[in-house]
Structure 1
């Protein structure tokens, strides 16, 4: 049997509760046929906010716009849904970059945008932990906060390990527990993502980052990831095929003996 997930957070989560070492097989999103191609007619940086129920979204954007004004920068940032009620991939690739205040640790949209080589900006691990403790920014990290908004300090079931030193993944109260699990988020695993430690740091990096260079490095990484992932899948499928062959052979042999 093979137990796998498309992200490290889920793999570690499964291991915490079951003891199973889960294989990580990330999505490559080969169905997308457009890549980063910024246009002068789409100068807005896209802001991808946390859940709509998180009030900090507006505060974050207001502070960012104030910071941009203080830096006297010619940068325009607009929320995704203000730009597009419904968007297509070709819309996104024409903008300079996407700024995230993530509502979840693994989002298919981020897989897709990374596969399009779109430069991405995320809060650093320390900043996101601070924001989550204060505002529950990553609101869909646990089922309780997702479904009812309830903030708990433990899971309803115990860990597989009796003497576990790893903090509870569903503890939404303890800073160290939150930081420990947030570090497994997709956007902290991939290279060439730009992290900011404060609003002013974000403004500075929006002004100074060579987005074309970043996108080119993302393209290189995507090619490498796809090659390695396909090799991994070949090994898994060969193993499953071999196991199935011997299982069928054993079944036929048992039937003959009867």
Structure 2
């Protein structure tokens, strides 16, 4: 018998929640670890080193149990490298946007290796959503244009310390490019639509909340949080939303390349 009305909506909502939890598996387990691992570490192992070990263990288990494919792992590794490079620059003595105040054997240039997994977690979520919700995009701008915009955004994260911040201009271009773009997702049997820009903003908001949790627990600190904790500036919400857009574009770009290679073969 076909379910209608409230019953059907309830089933769709339930499956939406289940698939969201599944898509957030890596990110959720990783941030649970951030919450649970004591600041002093365990058994003589520092918190940063433990978080790196836990992140690697989660990643290994997901691949071993086929919750994540090797292709997905390669893409996530790329997000890790890009994120870690950004962390190295932002935490350098000349920039000092934030810092990791604790000791750890797994720190390179003052940045713990686990930090790259925070960016990888965003990539993992988007990749998992793409598969679990059978995402389809309507009116997406040409991939090459989206890739150029994503590159400009990533470069601006570095260059705005020297030649001015053009994030507002990049955001304006993004609004124009993605104004008609719609993401279609299927929780269970019915397809739903959402403006792609709204999806970027919503995901960015939840990352901003997670960033507040991480800084509250002292895993990293912004300059205004050293004396006493304060909420992360709301402007970071916008930065994270744009970084989500960049991550989404990289995922789409990699999928497009793979599709072209497959067709060529």
Which one has a larger percent helix, Structure 1 or Structure 2? 2
Do they fold alike, i.e. is TM over 0.5?
Answer: no
Bigger Rg, structure 1 or 2: 1
**TM-score for both structures, normalised by structure 1:** 0.30
